[in-house]
Structure 1
């Protein structure tokens, strides 16, 4: 028992220390777990810990991950994204796998081994890329959306890959693994529903198992959760969620299929279930812990002796992989008309191997597809390419993006018609504002930096201009010097603040309506000079609050006055606090700012409570207002 506790403590403390440090350095959580595993590798070796056995246990985190991926894949969403999924995603996986397979055959690998290597290296790191794109605010760009489509296709493609890999097994490796299994347990027997059955029997049992998964997901999950709800114990919901996932994985194992295949299929079936979010919230913590443990075991299992003995070869193969994937991605970016910096973001962002590569490698070795010594070299290539990913994004930020800013400026639309109203951004906020103003007979000049968004607008004959609204030359061409109103609806906090600062400095009399993402962003915009600031979710929250009060039995008049009282207090408090906010000092380190909130908060809350109580004490009469 002491040995187990000590091992668990070592893994936990390594993850708790390494992951936050890696995240702060911009390396991401996956690399943090890998580095943690590398750091504790000598300790585990000294304690004679069986890292491989722990890794087999932790691989169940991958099964849970694919179950959650399946839950997110609603059929309608997949159908809407079919062009990019099949074109960009299918093209990237197919072309990269083929290119790597040919290279492996040139190095003397058999066809089946080369194909398995191609499949492993075709995948990119979903965890690293999505986290980095989100942190840099690039997810909504054309390059970011295209990257997401490829990563989504890769996550789906893992399922057929797991089904295909056992079919590539080498007879000599399979025989060796069989002998090893017999020597380990004395008889090599294992539970199976298909052992000894003829081919047609195996097919029937397998189809029955898949049908059972679909039936369980479609018809039994609801009654099970409704039955458990009667006990009103959160722990039972968690136990039921784990029971479903583990039970389906077990069923797939008994018929010789990949457990991940079954859980993924179950996730897709449950994507439209009323219990989808319950399942996600229950499974996600276990998935995160087990995946973190899996990546730490990968880091701990890295053969550094092999790396240092073959450093030039492994580094060369890693760089070669990145170059091959970059060439394929760049070609697809050209075919699908990604331009400028978006093309290079797509190319460099996905050029590494991914975390599912570790899973496929372990699966391939277990099934006698790839020899163990070769898998060690491939594991090093996957890990090293992931470690180089932050450097690729730094290359994009500091070298590629600045160089393409000028060329993109030359490719921006010529604004031939000027208006006294300019709207920067035509997304979910700017689009509604533009429609409203056009409904009033006005003709605002709309500027947006997403070519995909503008292509969509063209289909509806809506006039908008492609360009970066933060560029002074474009603003001049749009007639900002003669404009009366400038609406900033950009979905980027920093760029919004930057644009407000520029406009207030050069056009102090221009009326600016600025979109704020949250309360702190309001203070940033106020410090930059904006005075007409709209929090993007504030008004909808006020309306939802009013509807909530009415639903409790209060009249429309009472609900409206209560919301008005809260709104007045909130606006007053924000104006007072804004005087003490300094954008150059982090909010939690600005003692003057924090003290002003503490000093005024008690008065604000007591005044608001008195107003609310006065309104609530009135008779609950009158009609409820509309909810739309």
Structure 2
């Protein structure tokens, strides 16, 4: 019954909220609140759900680790330890002052502040993944900060032990401080040793056995085993899974592991968000709503201002800094761990724990909504120009505008002939990927602007290839290119038949090819061959269809779409009559 309730709530809530444009995370949170102890009361112990669902966060961090090779992680060391430590230090200091301003003692203010400093990795990574920003430079900076915050939980737990009231047994507490540090270092060393010397040989043996289900079981064993080892060492389970992913990032089994983990990751991460929604204690909120409401506003506002200030200090643009501040201005799941430890050590009491937990959960629930409002009304983050160069005073025989899947293939013939070539694109990530993975120099530029066309060498080009995947942009670029460079042949990739007609009618293109037409013709020829036709018969059939399509296209260009359709229908009727005649007995 409970499993059906969880699945039903997710199936109803998430599509509904996505349809409303509110995102999947808010859908999960609302669904959890609806079926939890403060909604329909189908569940009375959300903490039990959260403990299981934390595995979703663990698996998410493992998949992220698989994408980060050690060399790449090393290149982020300044962002992880520099930017991450600066943000945590500034936010922790100012949020502690907020707690003191609310009248709490220093120790309580510090623990509450540091719990709020630990951003929700699950929510931020999910939102970054939904908008495709994890691999972007601004996304990598956010990931680096999240990694540092995950590491920060260890010293924070040690600090809680140090500031525990003196009523505790000092002799029991003092040795444990060094024991915690030693245990954590031992767990890290054991995980690194296993990753270097055991994991790859293990997967090679399992791959030789050719048992797919055993490979899936081994992938889960690695993730859960690494998480358990880190938990036993007093570290974050998510950090253990992330390190395991990094250690396997250069393995030949990386893609197989990612495919095996993906279904479990998505399901358990959704379960985690459901658990967070269930854990929002509306009774506590109702009893202390002035304090909790003021706490949510004050904590989120101060943290957002701190993050924005640190980002600007680190030379991020206004839009990037604001985007980071909105995305990270909430508490996270590791705050629950810190509050529980502080409650057990006597640093905070049960009332403070309940109130701060409600503040953190409400901040997590509000984040997707705030991000949505910022996305609609706030400034758009500028594309990072890191590693990107604009075209200036170029001269080339051929200019290619757009370096996606069509532009990459279309440019190969020019390169093979040895002719000079200039490629421009307005997507900075495409430009960086072309340089990193293809070794191809692509310049930044908007082909719809006349000055960019001339800077890229259109005035000296004999051909301009327009390969962008936006219909309106392709038409605009073709018209401008023809007007500015009438000597060049403008060759355009058309999205579909209607787009091809538009390009021909506007006169901006000398040659138009529909992106699916030639591939469909080749597939059709193979289908004809499969019916038993000879290659000559198949070529004749396809030539007839190509001629028919050309005649129909010419009629549609002339404005007689009805005649074009009639031409096709007449051809089909003649074909049916020919087939019927051939089928009659002699």
Normalised by the length of structure 1, the TM-score is 0.64
Q: In structure 2, do the counterparts of structure 1 residues 95 and 532 end up closer, same or farther at CA, with 3 Å as the change threshold? A: farther
1:391 correspondence with 2:373:
yes
Cα separation, 2, equivalents of 1:161 and 1:571: 70
* Number of the residue aligned with 1:240: 218
Alignment of 1:138-537 (within 5 A): 139=133, 145-169=136-160, 206-229=184-207, 231-307=209-285, 317-321=295-299, 323-328=301-306, 330-331=308-309, 334=312, 343-348=318-323, 350-353=325-328, 357-368=331-342, 371-396=353-378, 400=379, 422-425=399-402, 433=411, 442=420, 446=424, 448=426, 450=428, 467-471=445-449, 485-490=463-468, 493-494=469-470, 497-504=471-478, 507=482, 511-514=489-492, 521=495, 525-526=499-500, 528-529=502-503, 531-533=511-513
Cα separation, 2, equivalents of 1:103 and 1:88: 22
Cα separation, 1, equivalents of 2:218 and 2:547: 46
Alignment of 1:6-45 (within 5 A): 6-41=1-36
- Aligned to 2:136, the other structure's residue is in SS state helix
CA contact (8 A) 1:333 1:346 kept: yes
- Aligned-pair distance for 1:394? 0.5
- Aligned-pair distance for 1:152? 1.6
CA contact (8 A) 2:81 2:148 kept: no
- Aligned-pair distance for 1:383? 1.8
Q: In structure 2, do the counterparts of structure 1 residues 122 and 54 end up closer, same or farther at CA, with 3 Å as the change threshold? A: closer
Cα separation, 2, equivalents of 1:579 and 1:31: 50
* Number of the residue aligned with 1:79: 74
- Aligned to 1:49, the other structure's residue is in SS state coil
- Aligned-pair distance for 1:272? 1.7
Normalised by the length of structure 2, the TM-score is 0.68
Cα separation, 2, equivalents of 1:328 and 1:435: 52
CA contact (8 A) 1:426 1:448 kept: no
Point out the more displaced range, 243-252 or 58-67.
243-252
Cα separation, 1, equivalents of 2:217 and 2:175: 34
Q: In structure 2, do the counterparts of structure 1 residues 123 and 255 end up closer, same or farther at CA, with 3 Å as the change threshold? A: closer
CA contact (8 A) 2:56 2:272 kept: yes
Cα separation, 2, equivalents of 1:57 and 1:453: 42
* Number of the residue aligned with 2:48: 53
- Aligned-pair distance for 1:463? 11
Cα separation, 2, equivalents of 1:48 and 1:416: 67
Q: In structure 2, do the counterparts of structure 1 residues 115 and 467 end up closer, same or farther at CA, with 3 Å as the change threshold? A: same
Q: In structure 2, do the counterparts of structure 1 residues 146 and 328 end up closer, same or farther at CA, with 3 Å as the change threshold? A: farther
Cα separation, 2, equivalents of 1:63 and 1:174: 33
- Aligned to 1:368, the other structure's residue is in SS state helix
* Number of the residue aligned with 1:184: none
- Aligned to 1:159, the other structure's residue is in SS state helix
Cα separation, 2, equivalents of 1:72 and 1:54: 29
Cα separation, 1, equivalents of 2:38 and 2:265: 25
- Aligned-pair distance for 1:257? 3.6
- Aligned-pair distance for 1:304? 3.1
Q: In structure 2, do the counterparts of structure 1 residues 332 and 413 end up closer, same or farther at CA, with 3 Å as the change threshold? A: farther
Cα separation, 2, equivalents of 1:18 and 1:451: 34
Q: In structure 2, do the counterparts of structure 1 residues 175 and 263 end up closer, same or farther at CA, with 3 Å as the change threshold? A: farther
Cα separation, 2, equivalents of 1:167 and 1:573: 75
- Aligned-pair distance for 1:270? 1.9
Q: Which deviations, in whole Å up to 9, do the C-alpha atoms of 1:64-105 show, x marking residues without a partner?
A: 222333222211222345565566555545544444344334
* Number of the residue aligned with 2:60: 65
Q: How many residues align?
A: 508
For the aligned residue pairs, the C-alpha RMSD in angstroms reads: 5.3
- Aligned to 1:272, the other structure's residue is in SS state coil
Q: Which runs of 5+ in 2 are unaligned?
A: 504-508, 523-533, 554-564, 576-586
- Aligned-pair distance for 1:389? 1.2
Q: Which runs of 5+ in 1 are unaligned?
A: 1-5, 179-193, 543-560, 581-592, 604-628
CA contact (8 A) 1:113 1:168 kept: no
* Number of the residue aligned with 1:585: none
* Number of the residue aligned with 2:581: none
Alignment of 1:582-621 (within 5 A): none
Cα separation, 1, equivalents of 2:145 and 2:270: 20
Cα separation, 2, equivalents of 1:515 and 1:98: 56
Larger Rg: 2
Q: In structure 2, do the counterparts of structure 1 residues 66 and 164 end up closer, same or farther at CA, with 3 Å as the change threshold? A: farther
